[in-house]
Structure 1
Amino acid sequence: MSESLSTDESLSGPVAVPVSGPLSGPEPKARSLAGRAAALDAEDELAGLRDLFTLDDDTVYLDGNSLGALPRHVAGRLQDVISRQWGELRIRSWTEGGWWTAPERIGDRIAPLVGAGQGRIVVGDSTSVNVFKAVVAAVRLAESADPARDEILVDATTFPTDGYIARSAARMTGRRIVPVDPAELSGALGPRTAVALVNHVDFRTGRLHDLPGITAAAHAAGALVVWDLCHSAGALPVGLDEHGVDLAVGCTYKYLNGGPGSPAFLYVAERHQAAFDSPLPGWNAHTDPFAMAQDFAAADGAVRGRVGTPDILSMLALEAALDVWEGVRVEAVRAKSLALTDFFLECVAAYAPAGRVSSMTPAAHAERGSQVALRCAEAPAVMAELISRGVIGDLRRPDVLRFGFTPLYVGFADAERAARVLGEVLAEVPRQPAGEQRDRGV
């Protein structure tokens, strides 16, 4: 039994995936893993969904955690929106075409995918704008209960925008930012904590953070939590209502395949809706928008999370894209995601030259999202060569190779091919001198 995938204990504990059976040389190894991939694809209940997407057989697309693939029918649906709804009905489409109610209607379609009831999600604006709304509104909710709560805890490993927005929200509300490692967040909560802003899945490593546990710890401390679901919505069960989440935001262009720049969503727990005080009270959030009143009166429910006129073309492209989820169980998506990432790690262990890559992604299923991040000193050159050979992942400088596994259209043969090509590329790309690796902290 061989173990060629090196370990990285500093971030996620050791990950070394054994390769099954005695293998001698690359050809028997490839035949064995390719055969297993074919068998796994044949048994996959989600395999047929790949045909719903615009993909080509020459490419392995493992970047759905940045931009999901195009569902085939979206182009035709959007052509109708442009030619008939906009071109013929024109302004009548706000009512006859259902444009005006799209943010709530599409929110209700996303709701089952993240474990939310109807009327709790509204779609519109970017993730950054929704993070701002959620954090400021959460601070205001906390302040109404206890004005002494003057701290906003922020995931210290967060996606940069969340940190930027949180710091601005802190300045605006007179709070101070406290960066905390997510593993230590539960212990950092206290009587001064107003809000914690946490990523459900770490964008670099793919680590899945403990949403139920952190949410419960925050509530026990009298604080609220805002969850960023950008790397979990559409990839795994979230359970927003079940776990008592206060507020959450998420993008729709990754695992939900809504298209580049498609609008994000905002979740407001039912118990907070009456007191939700958005820092961006736009006319679309007014209880009677067309009254054009000078005084703002917030609409009921999550609708008060709306701001301005919806981006209809992107909004309706997203609505069409969500059709691929009809009849799909998120639990089945999660099961396949874990099987895919397990198999990919096993294939990397078999194909990669010893010591060239190490997994930053946790081995434990309970701590893993739907991506694999490999640390590699030569990551920029390796990813460039992978892409030139039809394996599309992405790079997080300086040394992270990131591969997203979207179970609706990625199969086990894709995982095997990607790992095999990675092994070939690593064998060809020269190692960096050890001194340069130390200089970069590798």
Structure 2
Amino acid sequence: MFDRSRKGERALLLQAQAPGQHDPALMEEFAELARSAGATVVATLGARLERPNPRYFVGVGKAEELKAHKIASDADLILVNHTLSPVQERNLERLTECRVVDRTGLILDIFAQRARSHEGKLQVELAQLRHMSTRLVRGWTHLERQRGGAIGLRGPGETQLEIDRRLLAERVKQLQKRLEKVEVQRAQARRSRERSALPVVALVGYTNAGKSTLFNALTGAGVYAADQLFATLDPTLRRIDGLECGPIVLADTVGFIRDLPHDLVAAFRSTLAEAREADLLLHVIDASDPERDTRIADVDRVLAEIGSADVPQVLVYNKIDRLEQEPPPLLLDRDGPLRAWVSALDGRGMDGLRASISKALSSERLHRKFTLPSASGRLRARLHALGVVASEQTDADGWVIEIDAPRALIEPLFGLPGGDGEWLKAALLAPTHRATYNRSRATRA
């Protein structure tokens, strides 16, 4: 058995594509992933692949060629732009006498380097352990040794492999319990924001599309931003005032990428909940990227996977400073989402973006003020229980209540019995901003 290199700096990249397909962008993105992990790309190798070889992923001849390239380039790490099975990874390592890391392992390594918060570190470790658990399959001789017994406890013993699996499973359970506690705390903070009636707008998009730079431009938060993949992982929330729709909470989330590991999506479920439970998504797109339509489809697939497919979107085409012709600041498709064209770097188009946020939220939220008499405490209690009351005052007629909340949260109340639901629907959907409650019949003043 060979000694695994601990340097991990000189990387040979392997990119396999189906016959007839040739997309240089795939290798370019994978090389950028490798550099983001701290590796130096010293050589690349392409391969035609109709179907994965169960032994080496690629054919035997290409595997031998990979070994020759590794020797010629003096690489100490082979990165494969595909998910490998444990057997394929182990066989390639034995053949090339070199450490082999697949796409999933590379992305997990980048996340492990970039995680800063306690929650982020727990999420990354959980995803890494889940990935590692599939690799504990008799790959090393020390895992086959028997554990010695004491007097009265002699027997076949427990193999080191079984001990490692048990310890790993116990650690996974510990991490899951810790993350459940963190998720409860995040859910409480989210409910607190809902009670304050502030709409939540989440930034989503392909990694390196400029989300953090745009977040800083909108909020002045000073969040770390760099021209690299997955520059920031931990979500950041800031309040924004001065919009026509009123104050909002803006959330910066982790960037997406094609073939994002499922274990990573599962581990980051509480972080991605900011996107799942947002009132509006700002889908940030690199306008200068020739593959931007493909990037949009990749992000939409991840959004569907985490349950955010139905959340309204504003398509924000960022980095227009790199375009030869400057597009209009704001566009509205007849049957599609709003589109804003901005440069988070120099500030162009930011007014149009703010206008598009207000326009999109105004159609998804209900903001009304009405008066409830003191006898209508049941309806008032329901409104407070939902956390949709933005402000409340008392006068001679009862309670003057201001509602500001997502339409989807309030609409179930329209079915309340006893005329309450019908009156509330008329009061909130009426053109006037002030209504007076009458239990016997609905009236608008």
| TM-score, structure 2 normalization | 0.25
| TM-score, structure 1 normalization | 0.25
Higher strand share goes to which structure? 2
- Whose relative contact order is higher, 1 or 2, with alpha carbons under 8 Å and at least 6 apart? 1
